[in-house]
C-alpha cells in the first residue's frame, strides 16, 4: 500500500550535513520483519515507523530500526520523527509538547521554541572496568595521561565513554582502529577552548551501523549531559559539536529545566513523498 514517507536530516542547520533519517508515517499493518527489511534497505543509521499510540498519554508511537536490529530509544530518530509527524499535519494534544511513545516509555519533545528539544531519558552511570579502559586506550593509541574521566553510560544501551584533555585530541583519533563487533560503540568527548561556538566535541566510534563513526548521536549526547550534570558541571546551556571529522555540521543544544536535561537540535526535511510497502 502507499504510505507517506519523509527523509530528513537531524541535528544540523545545513541540509545534508547532519544525520539522515527515513520516516514511514503510516506504518499500520507492517510486520516486524517488513520494518526490519525496509530499514536494512535504506542503509541509514536509523529508520523509524510511526503508529497510533498504545498509551493514551502519547500523541503517537515510534519504532526505531537500524539496518540490523530494533532500538528502544535514539536521539536523532526522536527529533526527526517528531519533525516529520508535525510536517504531515500532526497536532499534539498539549500545545507546545509532543509526547512520543517508544521502547523506553514516553519521551516529551518541547516544540514551543525555534529549536525542538526532547527530555533526556534517565541515564545510569557506572565505573568503567580497568580492563575495558586499557583495551580502548591501546586500540586508539590514547596516552592514558590525557584521559580525564571515564564511565559506562546507559540510557537504552551501555556505552563506554572517555573524556579527553581537549577537543583537538578527540578529533585526532583514528576511527579505523576500532570496529564493531570487536568493539562496542565508544563515546569520546573533549572541551573546546572557551569563547568558541561549541563547548565540546563529541564522537561515537565503532557504531554497529557499519560506519566508522556515527554522524551525530542524540542518545550519546543526552547521556553525556546527564554525566556532566552528575558532576555538577552542567551549570547552563551548552552546545556540543559532532560529525566534524566526517564533514558534518552537527550541533546538539543542551539545557536544563530543574533536574530535567533537554536535548535540542534542528531538523531539515529533504524528501517528502509516498512509499509502496
Which is nearest to 127 in space by CA: 144, 148, 151? 151
* Alpha-carbon distances, residue 133 vs 30, 136, 252 (angstroms): 42, 5, 26
CA distance 90 to 269: 15
> Do 251 and 11 meet the contact criterion of CB atoms below 8 Å apart?
yes
The crossing angle, in degrees rounded to 10, of helices 218-230 and 75-87 is 120
H/E segment holding residue 131 = helix 130-140
CA distance 223 to 275: 34
CA distance 121 to 261: 8
Q: Specify whether 33 is catalytic.
A: no
Measured over the CA atoms of residue 83, residue 85, residue 88 and residue 93, the dihedral's sign is: negative
CA distance 23 to 180: 26
Q: Which of 46, 163, 201, 213 is catalytic?
A: 46
> Do 157 and 71 meet the contact criterion of CB atoms below 8 Å apart?
yes
> Do 104 and 73 meet the contact criterion of CB atoms below 8 Å apart?
yes
Place of cell 565540546: 200
Catalytically active residues, by annotation: 46
Amino acid at each position: 500500500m502507499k504510505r507517506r514517507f519523509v527523509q530528513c536530516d537531524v541535528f544540523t542547520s545545513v541540509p545534508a550535513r547532519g544525520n539522515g533519517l527515513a520516516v514511514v508515517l503510516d506504518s499500520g499493518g507492517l510486520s516486524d520483519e517488513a520494518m526490519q527489511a525496509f530499514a536494512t534497505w535504506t542503509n541509514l543509521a536509523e529508520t523509524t515507523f510511526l503508529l497510533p499510540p498504545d498509551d493514551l498519554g502519547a500523541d503517537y508511537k515510534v519504532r526505531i530500526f537500524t539496518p540490523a536490529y530494533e532500538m528502544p530509544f535514539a536521539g536523532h530518530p526522536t527529533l526527526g520523527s517528531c519533525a516529520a509527524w508535525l510536517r504531515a499535519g500532526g497536532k499534539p494534544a498539549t500545545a507546545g509538547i509532543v509526547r512520543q511513545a517508544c521502547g523506553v516509555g514516553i519521551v516529551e519533545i518541547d516544540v514551543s521554541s525555534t529549536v525542538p528539544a526532547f527530555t533526556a531519558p534517565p541515564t545510569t552511570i557506572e565505573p568503567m572496568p580497568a580492563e575495558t579502559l586499557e583495551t580502548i586506550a591501546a586500540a586508539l593509541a590514547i596516552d592514558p595521561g590525557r584521559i580525564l574521566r571515564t564511565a559506562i553510560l546507559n540510557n537504552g544501551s551501555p556505552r563506554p565513554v572517555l573524556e579527553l584533555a581537549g577537543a583537538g585530541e578527540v578529533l585526532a583519533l583514528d576511527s579505523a582502529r576500532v570496529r564493531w563487533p570487536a568493539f562496542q560503540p565508544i563515546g569520546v568527548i573533549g572541551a573546546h577552548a572557551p569563547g568558541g561556538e561549541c563547548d565540546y566535541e563529541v564522537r561515537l566510534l565503532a557504531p554497529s551501523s557499519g560506519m566508522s563513526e556515527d554522524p551525530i548521536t542524540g542518545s550519546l549526547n543526552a547521556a553525556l549531559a546527564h554525566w556532566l550534570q552528575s558532576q555538577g558541571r552542567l551549570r547552563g546551556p551548552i552546545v556540543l559539536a559532532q560529525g566534524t571529522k566526517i564533514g558534518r555540521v552537527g550541533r546538539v543544544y543542551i539545557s536544563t529545566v530543574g533536574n530535567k536535561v533537554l536535548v535540542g537540535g534542528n531538523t531539515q526535511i529533504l524528501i517528502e513523498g509516498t512509499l509502496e510497502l
